[in-house]
Structure 1
């Protein structure tokens, strides 16, 4: 071990401190704080005696040459038209993920935020146009349509309720529409002088991405190569590459992780553990990659770079407005500045809030559980933070260095401050007037573990309790993954394990019948034996198979069959599912550690850490 990394050494402490800082920056509030700092640095630099170096830096010419292909742009355009494509590609990936396995998969749940997102684009644009009137200033209507998702979520983490996950999901769904429309506006409205041949090449690249998805290509490299070619074609064609980035992300396939692929990867890893050779290691990496969708892998690779590098560099390049020479005073008297401020701060709040309440009143959908009217108003106010998309459109509509461009930039920065302050005030008011201290699902187990209907493994008076809401067709529940064995080996008699039913009948058609079968076996004192057997036979849970399992366990099959039809047995499953609803469990597996809902990964190591924290606390 080197001196620099030895535990307790100054170098080791420095490395640990650096890792701690990076960890904080990767949180939503940390990323938002980084953007604020970078924005202030840009403003101070642009208004300092060294402002000339700021301007000169971003006008530095940079050329890219590959054979006969050449691309010449200054550094500012490389940031806006190059690096930011990764940002918009990531947005496209996230939208595709939401459509495939996320909030947008259930169209009924998505209607309200979709309507709100549409109104959150239209109303700000109309307010801006009403304030500025016609002329050249009207070209900037697109400045107010976008919401900076990273800043929005960061501000929510700072000024919103302590628990606001349900509101966060609602706002993320809303910004899917916002981002899609904003990027479409950039690509279609602010693109000029189109070149036909490169445009056809770009269309061909989109077709290639579609073919890769159709042929279930699991490697990420082919997608990356095609996206780079697509970017070059769109830049050359005169279309703003943000549209290409979004479209490319939408074409990268996303799907839920499948258990059999995870098990195949585990088998490969066992081979490596027994024979650690380079060829086997390569097979393990391929097996792991196959088990996760290429969409999710690309998101994981790009999210940190986008939040910690790309967007901050963009802010540094675009937020530096020279306010000297009376520009600040002129901006405060400019219709462009106030059009941007009112469009973002008032337009987003009014458009999103009114559309949300109207959609609910008309029966198009419901607000997420735990999200009240105050939370909607506070989230709508925070949506007035335009920043990234707004600054990008300023450069396209006016040129950032022009008078109109600088006035619009002042408006964006002022709106960012006002929107955050307004959101904070609304959240405080909602907490005092309407008692909305959270915007999330319940986090406390109801009823407490150990009630008469609970099935318990371990000592009844063990100091630690882990409750799992399970579904017998769930491929990642504790018994299915073997995770329970690791927990029991670690804690022994100090841990009691309680299971409750949460049959997800919309995705697992045999889950309810299997849960009833377990309870029917429980009437004959064999719940846990049936529990284990059902998880080992997850691919065969039809009624005929359940009767066969009863016979295999030596149960009274006739009584078991009668109990399968007994309403009192089904009521036990229903009461368990009702407990999940009031406790905030919506999927399986969901765990409660000493009565509090566990968040995050549910592998054995993570749950052991959570249980150890509970023991210390």
Structure 2
């Protein structure tokens, strides 16, 4: 005989568990960030292949064809107006503007709804990013303090994100999600400064008229976001115009790309818009007509910000086409006829190597360590100083930005070749140093994985947890939820479908993770559910709270208690009971210790689930857990 439990017990949890500090946990980090990281890491393979092809081609009997290809002129001529450049300039000034546009979009998203919304978590990587630029430049200028070679100081500022993530996947810890997030955040300041330097230091004579027009177009792009314009076409038109005017103004096109991306706003999906899209989709399912389908598609587009839609569309093109083509056009150095020997004995070559490898490693790691020691912030969970030093070494892979600066800084072909050899050498040496540091950190400091915890910190206890289903069911699904989170409201239907699918084989457990910095009424609602639990009505209150997410003020919660026939006076006392407050804090602490960074977060057989949480996906994960014996 199986016993069914429909409520949690009194305040529980481990008595020695210190509640985690409050901070903004803005939705499940994994989806957009995991997509970005996987695309960048995949693009690194093509980037490496394109680099090798360029080097082999430039040093082959067909090297003349390589040079002739990139010297080929192409463009558009309309009457007396023409836009004609050689192919290398089209790549460096055209395609790379798209590359920097995608970076700008990503930076804007991080500041609006991503990692950089919590300034406390951003402090360490931002300070480390500054150190990772200042120290390399000082070391570079120490090696080449004057002359034309000094013009290339900005080569040691930038880091190639794709190459860094690709190298991290090969030489870094097996699980390095948190370190990747830290490095990606660090790259934000790196990218902004690098693009600003390229645009301001290495541009030609700036013309005032086009510059003023640039400002107007920028204001127009910003206005589109503020006015909530959701169609992509107006942004595309103004963005293209901004690029043309920037080139005409004499500034490097990277400025147009980064500025355009920064001005396209990013917002989290709003509940009412998502629900409106769902209504339109249901209407289309009932009446599959062209007009209804267009309305459904428009509703889906409205639900997702222009920033997100542009990033998801353009980022694969940037990673898999733009950056590899750039490498093909710029990495082809003919090393014959003494060029390699000349480069290896050049102060310029070694200034680049020292700046990127030594400067980045010292600048990032020392600044991060000092900031942590001074209490400016803390490293992400799971990341140790050994991981930071290894990541700092890998940030010495400058490549894309470094090669772009080398082409802009040096008119002398010999200096450009020496700089390019330095950039390529630095990429190889930085990767080897990073590998050595990660291995040493694992052996000497025990710093293996650099990831969030992946397993449930506190095992399910039917005497404490809210359990729906047989307490001895072979399958367990634990959800950390927030009563004010619209995505958690959607999962109530998912949980219901899963229980219908698996029956007595599944027990569903709900734990509280109120995101107080995002949803101001969420913690009060969690306490209301626990107060109702004292009168054996947790799941009834659970359902009511999700049905009325927009009405969670205290007087409304009292009304729900009356609707459920609860003793209202007792409910009110329990609502403010210190034990109830502690119970919520215990759940939040267990969420933090289990690696839950947003809501909803699911655990299947005590293993944290990342990815979609629709019914079919969770069915597959539960079935896989059963087959693997993880029950």
Task: State whether TM-score is above 0.5.
Answer: yes
Hey, what does 2:205 align to over in structure 1?
A: 193
The corresponding residue for 2:391 is 379
**Which 10-residue stretch deviates more, 475-484 or 288-297?**
475-484
Structure 2: unaligned runs, 5 residues or longer: 1-34
The reply to whether residue 279 of structure 1 matches residue 291 of structure 2 is yes
* Aligned residue among 487, 491, 502 for 1:491: 502
**Is the CA contact 2:51–2:327 (under 8 Å) kept in the aligned structure 1?**
yes
Alignment RMSD (CA, Å)? 1.7
Query: Which of residues 443, 446, 461 in structure 2 aligns to 1:450?
Result: 461
Partner of 2:22: none
Matched, 1:228 2:240: yes
Tell me whether 1:407 sits opposite 2:449 in the alignment.
no
Query: 1:478–1:484: 8 Å Cα contact kept in structure 2?
Result: no
Which of 262, 268, 286 aligns to 1:250? It is 262
3-state SS of 1:415 partner:
helix
The counterpart of 1:539, out of the listed 547, 550, 575, is 550
Within a 5 Å distance, the mapping from 1:294-309 to structure 2 comes to 294-309=306-321
Q: Which residue of 1 aligns with 2:108?
A: 96
SS at match of 1:482: helix
Between stretches 231-240 and 23-32, larger displacement belongs to: 23-32
Equivalence map 1:314-463=2 (5 Å): 314-399=326-411, 402-463=413-474
Whole-angstrom distance in 2 between the partners of 1:67 and 1:550: 76
User: Residues of 2 paired with 1:563 and 1:195: CA distance?
Assistant: 70
CA deviation map 1:347-393 (0-9, x unaligned): 00000111111111222111112111101101101100001101111
What is the DSSP-based 3-state SS (H/G/I as helix, E as strand, rest coil) of the residue aligned with 1:365?
A: coil
Choose from 503, 508, 513 the match for 2:524: 513
Tell me the secondary structure at the aligned position of residue 186 of structure 1: helix
Q: Does 1:602 align with 2:613?
A: yes
Q: Is the 8 A contact 1:443 1:596 kept in 2?
A: yes
The secondary structure found in structure 1 opposite 2:486 is coil
Asked whether the equivalents of residues 321 and 406 of structure 1 are also in contact (C-alpha less than 8 Å), the reply is yes
Aligned to 2:61: 49
Query: Residue 483 of structure 2 aligns to a residue in which SS?
Result: coil
Equivalence for 2:182: 170
CA contact (8 A) 2:489 2:546 kept: no
CA contact (8 A) 1:478 1:589 kept: no
Distance 2:498 2:97 in 1: 44
| Structure 1 residue 147 corresponds to structure 2 residue 159 | yes
TM-score (norm 2): 0.92
List gaps (5 residues or longer) in structure 1. 1-22
Aligned to 2:585: 574
482, 487, 493: which is aligned to 1:482? 493
CA distance in 2, matches of 1:448, 1:508: 27
Paired with 1:156 and 1:268, the residues of 2 have a C-alpha distance of 43
Distance 1:443 1:594 in 2: 11
The alpha-carbon deviation at position 195 of structure 1 amounts to 2.6
Match of 2:253 in 1: 241
Q: Is the 8 Å Cα contact of residues 253 and 294 (structure 1) preserved in structure 2?
A: yes
- In 1: Cα distance, 2:516 partner to 2:173 partner: 33
- Residue 161 of structure 1: aligned partner: 173
1:523 aligned to 534, 540, 551, which one?
534
Post-superposition CA distance 1:437-495 (Å, at most 9, x none): 11122111021123521111122222221100011111111556622233233333332
- Relative to structure 1, is the Cα distance of residues 24 and 44 closer, same or farther in structure 2, using a 3 angstrom cutoff? farther
Displaced runs of 4 or more, over 6 A: none
- Give 3-state SS (helix, strand or coil) of 1:476's partner: helix
Which residue matches 1:10? none
| CA distance 1:24–1:491, shift in 2 (3 Å) | farther
Shift in CA distance, 273/66, structure 1 to aligned 2, threshold 3 Å: farther
Q: Is the 8 A contact 1:480 1:536 kept in 2?
A: no
Could you tell me how far apart the structure 1 residues matched to 2:568 and 2:226 are?
Answer: 48
Which of these residues, 28, 31, 43, is aligned with residue 31 of structure 1? 43
> What's the CA shift string for 1:36-63, capped at 9, x where partnerless?
1111111111101111111111111002
Aligned residue pairs total 594
Question: Does structure 1 conserve the Cα–Cα contact (< 8 Å) formed by 2:483 and 2:525?
Answer: yes
Residue 76, structure 1, aligned to residue 88, structure 2: yes
Find the counterpart in structure 1 of residue 300 from structure 2.
Answer: 288
Contact 2:462 2:471 in 1 (8 A): no
Counterpart secondary structure, 1:461: coil
Q: Matched residues in 1 for 2:257 and 2:37: separation? A: 25
1:104-156 alpha-carbon deviations (Å, 9 max, x no partner): 11222211111111111111111111111211101110111100111112211
Q: Deviations over 1:317-354 (max 9, x none)?
A: 11111111111111110011100001000000000111
Distance in 1 between residues matched to 2:413 and 2:274, nearest whole Å: 55
Report if aligned partners of 2:474, 2:506 keep a CA contact under 8 Å in 1.
yes
How far 1:165 moved relative to its partner? 1.4
Which position in structure 2 is the counterpart of 1:132?
A: 144
Structure number with greater CO (CA < 8 Å, separation at least 6) is: 2
User: What CA distance in whole angstroms lies between the structure 2 residues aligned with 1:151 and 1:27?
Assistant: 12
Match for 1:206 among 207, 210, 218? 218
SS at match of 2:187: helix
Match in the other structure for 1:14: none
